[in-house]
Every structure is written in structure tokens, then in C-alpha cells.
Amino acid sequence: MKTPWWFLHKTPLAFLLLPVAFVYYGCSRLVCFWRKLFAYKSQRKIVCVGGILAGGVGKTPIVRAIANYLDAPVVMRGYKRTAKTGNIGDEAAMLMSDGIAVHVGDRKSNIMLLNRQDDKGPILMDDGLQNPSIKKDISILVFDQMIGYGNGFILPAGPLREPKSHAKNADAIILIKNNKKPRKFILPPDVPVFYAENKTISPYGKNSQIVAFAGIGYPKKFFNSLDGVVARRSFGDHYQYTEEDIAELKKIAKKKKAKLVTTEKDWVRLSPDMREGIKFAKLETVIEPKFFVWLKEKLSADNKKAN
């Protein structure tokens, strides 16, 4: 589904949904308490990268950068994965295209399987900060400067999965810079904050005219990162495109005498036939070197405690 428009603003509708948000949070805490009673402790270190917002903060490129640095396998649920069609989810497909070992499905089962291997290196968990059924050794929270805490309300009144005060429970925070429209919000003072920068690399030159489309949490971020956009179309997060959708997009591009460009996450969801005439803009995320120094020291310190 598309990210609700009120997630970034304290609108009357957001306030009307607050009672539902209180019920949602109360139920989630009960589930969290129950899962915590049976939490699984992995033999290998678990580094969890997640967010307290429901999607759209740019977590996947951060996971990719950390997985490549640690040479670690990634365990993830796999959004909209289906055994019937062989679909493993766009985020998993995106990571695998970079040569990363990705294990999709039940995280606990996959971690237990990885613990049986000879490799004793860390395992990277994509998302799951709100799920205590697996004990994390290092928890890393990701924020985008353009989004911050959104309107500051919990689902469905806002984008937060849990109160923003819970950000203090993270071991570190990675803040993705946004120089165009940074939002003012306060991060916990006692948690180390590291910065990352995104660079969107268009497959075409600056003078090219582009029809951009995206089915991600906050498509506006993608559209604003491109030059020469003459038309834009947004779809729901993780949207499964149909042949009719692509035909319509190609018709628009032909009319505008422009080229079709989408995100890498969207492109991997297209069938080979649909991809004809469509390219994706590569998103490169660079995390400041100080983060990797901190991560290495943190893992080494935890290993010494374990021994």
C-alpha cells in the first residue's frame, strides 16, 4: 500500500486515529512480552539493522553496506515472498544481486541452520528490532533526515512501530543525510550517531528526459534525486506491477519522448519481458568510516566478554 499521507503531518485524521494507535501498541507489547519469554540466543553474533518506522527509511542499502563489510550472511523475512511463485521478495533479490548470501523465511530457523555451519562470523538480521524472539548482540537503528519520526505518532496514526523514546535502546544510530529537506528531530544523546549519504546514479545523462516510477515507502525521495524528470508515477510499497501498468508507463514515456527509470527494488520485481526499455537508477549508500571502526570494536569487545 502507499504510505498514508498523514504519516508526516499531525493532521485531524492522525489525531482521530490515536485511540486505535494506543490499542495497537498495547497489543504489540503483550505479544512482545510473550515472545521475550522464549527468546533464542544464537551462538554466532547477531547484528540487527532496523527502524522504528514502518518502511521507507532506506534500510536495505545500509544492510548491503554492512553485509559486504562483515562478509556476513543476511537473514530476513522477505516481504511478500511466496513459495508458489518462487518470489523471495524485492529486498532479498536486491541483496543477492550484490553477491550477498541471503536466507529468507523464518529468521529463527535460518539462524539455527547457520549456527550449524563451521563459520563463526556474525549474522546480519534485516529488520526485527521489535521482535524479541531472537536475542540481538548489536542493534543498529536507521533514520532518514527527511522523515525523522514522521508526525511522531504510533501506527496507524503515524509511522512509528513503537514510541520514539525507544530509540535510546539502540546500540548505534545511522542517520541518512538529506541536504535538501532535513527534518528537525531529536535523537537520544547517549547513543552514538553515524552518518550515511545516498547517491542516486541515473542510467542516463543529465540532459535526458525521464519518466520516473516507484513503488517504495517514500517515492518522493527517489523522484527528487533525479534530474530531467518530466513525469512521475508512484505505487504502493512493494507493489507488484502488471503488464497493464507497464504498458501505460511506456505509453506515457513515448508521449513525453522520455526514458523510463525506476528504483532497483522496483526493477527486480519486474518480469524479464517487462524490463525491456526500463532501467534502474543505482542507489549507492556510503556510511562514514567511523561507523565500521565502532562496529569492529563492538564485535571484538563482545567476543572477549563471551570468552
Query: Among 42, 237, 204, which Cα is nearest to 123's?
Result: 42
CA distance 208 to 228: 6
The pLDDT, as a whole number, for residue 79 is: 62
pTM, 2 dp: 0.88
What phi and psi values does residue 35 have, to the nearest 5 degrees?
-65, -35
Domain boundaries, the chain: 5-199+286-306, 201-284
| Superfamily of domain 5-199+286-306, CATH level 4 | P-loop containing nucleotide triphosphate hydrolases (3.40.50.300)
The pLDDT, as a whole number, for residue 303 is: 66
- Architecture category of domain 201-284 in CATH: 3-Layer(aba) Sandwich (3.40)
The pLDDT, as a whole number, for residue 30 is: 93
Domain 5-199+286-306 and domain 201-284 have a common topology: yes
Per-residue pLDDT in tens (0 to 9) along the chain, 307 residues = 678 889 999 999 999 999 999 999 999 999 988 988 889 999 999 999 999 998 778 899 999 999 999 999 999 987 655 443 345 678 898 899 889 999 999 999 999 999 999 899 999 999 988 889 999 999 999 999 989 999 999 999 999 999 999 999 999 999 999 877 778 899 999 999 999 998 899 999 888 999 999 999 889 889 988 999 999 999 988 899 999 999 999 999 999 999 999 999 999 999 999 999 999 999 888 999 999 999 999 998 866 565 5
The pLDDT, as a whole number, for residue 87 is: 54
The pLDDT, as a whole number, for residue 85 is: 37
Q: With 0-12 CB in 10 A as exposed, 13-18 as middle and 19+ as buried, what is 28?
A: middle
CA distance 201 to 210: 13
